[in-house]
Amino acid sequence: MQNKYHYLLSFLAPLIVRAIPEIVSFPWPLGYDTVTWYAPVINLCQIYGPLYSLTVFTDWRNAPLLYMFMGFLGYVSRLDPFLVTKCFGPFLSGCLGLVVFFFSRNYLGWSDKKSLACALICASYFVTLRLTWDSYRNVLGLILFIIALSQLPNLEKRRNALLFFVFCFLCAFSHELVTIILLITLFYLASLEIYRKLKGGVFQKGRLIVLVSSFLLPMVLFALYYTNWLGNSLFYFYNPFSESLFGGVLVDYISLRTGFYLYPSVDVLNAHILLLFFICFGPILPFVVLGYFKNEVLDVTTLFLLVGSFMPMVLPHSALPLWSRWMLMLTVPFSIYVANFLFPDETGAVLAEKLRVPVFMRAKLLVLIILLLVIFSSTYMVLPAESAFPYFSNFNTARYLPPTMQYNTVPISRSQDIVIALTWLSFNMSWDSCVVAHESLAGWTKLAFPFKQIYTYSSVDVYLESALFWSQFFGKVYILTMAPYDIIIAQRGFNLVFQFGLVRIYTK
């Protein structure tokens, strides 16, 4: 019975913590992707039916599992799309805490107390909160990945083998980068089994069969589908290996012409990588190092996440894409190492044992960790963008780690400006018109005008020129933008017809 309460608490505590910023920001949504992608998909599923979410798989070439789930939930509940996304963040956070507890308890063999502490540390750390801020697909992939790994100790049982295969299959449809981690982990574990057989050690044939079969389907999916997705989504990278690596798995960060990962030099790229790493994990890094212990699954997962994070520093012209996403996912294994240091038991911490760190010292450091979590996480969750905690307010890392959770595509305080501008536009736009919206306003515009043709541009000219080219085939074009990007629009001869706060509407 006590074990059941620990499971319940590992789910409810992270859910409640993650619900705090959603309550503070109500009724406005949190997160960039929630506004730009998730809410519009939910809205279209409510209009066209839940099968519309399958177009994410067929047309967008994107991992569809979350879209299908959210689209179906939005269709059945008929709730406001923003309300659905606001509920999803806390729910995923609770699920992540639960599976980390399950992994610690069932795979690592930790006690209920230590497993619960691990789950709470992981789910409440501000880096994890940033992931649950809007990276819902990423979090869903991690949840399914951790559940699959939790079945490893009992793969000889048919039930666990089946669950392992099913969760690996679902993981492959949840997030592209997590699929890569899954493939690397499965390949490593299968290789260990083969190595044991060759060395004449303890070899489990059934385990090897399950590992190989669970590896093949995600591998085929990745080779034929996700590599093309990566190539299409990162088309603006010059990649000398693209012809031989399925459309471009490795990317060139320095020859980037436009986009999110835009760096003028290798030095700037390296500075961003190091700065983000120490902002994210500097407060807990000593405890991570002291709590490290040898484990074949955690070793390969942590190592590959570190490779994805720091590979651009070594090979800036041919590195894994989206380096910041690899780095943010380190929050899961790092939290496990921190919990292992703070709660010593039969799982030995390599460095802590060599240094002979006494148990009473770890108990005192536990108080410090709790204090750090309260200060960093609480300020990150509730402070407005205008007065964010200085620790998170670094301009260079804001694109990867927003300075506060009280932000979507604009600061929460500016959300009302967008609604007022869209309301004005709905009463004044002509029937034969289209809308060109800045990327920060595109999701809002799609929700307001689901049947209108909407083109999106960023601050980079190439996207704006493309949008303006296609918009010329309509009777009239309205450009929805914000300061300071309105300067680009005004220079192209468009006239300002509406202004409220930072939001501007131009037409010609």
pLDDT at 81: 93
Q: Report, as an integer, the average pLDDT of 180-204.
A: 80
Q: Which of 232-241, 256-265, 322-331, 335-344 has the highest mean pLDDT?
A: 322-331
Q: What is the pTM of this model?
A: 0.90
Structure-block tokens of residue 375:
């200060």
pLDDT at 222: 63
Task: Answer yes or no: is pLDDT of 412 > 90.
Answer: yes
Q: What is the pLDDT of residues 8-39, one digit of tens each?
A: 999 999 999 999 999 999 999 999 999 998 99
Q: What is the pLDDT of residues 431-440, one digit of tens each?
A: 888 999 998 9
For 325, other C-beta atoms within 10 Å of its C-beta total 20
Confidence of residue 155 (pLDDT cuts 50, 70, 90): confident
Q: What is the pLDDT of residues 44-81, one digit of tens each?
A: 888 888 777 666 655 555 778 888 888 889 888 888 99
pLDDT at 258: 52
Task: Answer yes or no: is pLDDT of 245 > 70.
Answer: no
**Given phi > 0 = left and psi -120 to 50 = alpha, else beta, which region is 288?**
alpha
- Provide the b/e sequence for 269-299 (b: ≥16 CB within 10 Å): bbebbeebbebbbebbeebbbbbbbebebbe
Q: Report, as an integer, the average pLDDT of 194-217.
A: 74
Confidence of residue 128 (pLDDT cuts 50, 70, 90): very high
The 3-state DSSP class for residue 410 equals: coil
pLDDT at 235: 35
**Given phi > 0 = left and psi -120 to 50 = alpha, else beta, which region is 246?**
left
Task: Answer yes or no: is pLDDT of 236 > 60.
Answer: no
The 3-state DSSP class for residue 130 equals: helix
What average pLDDT is seen over the chain? 85
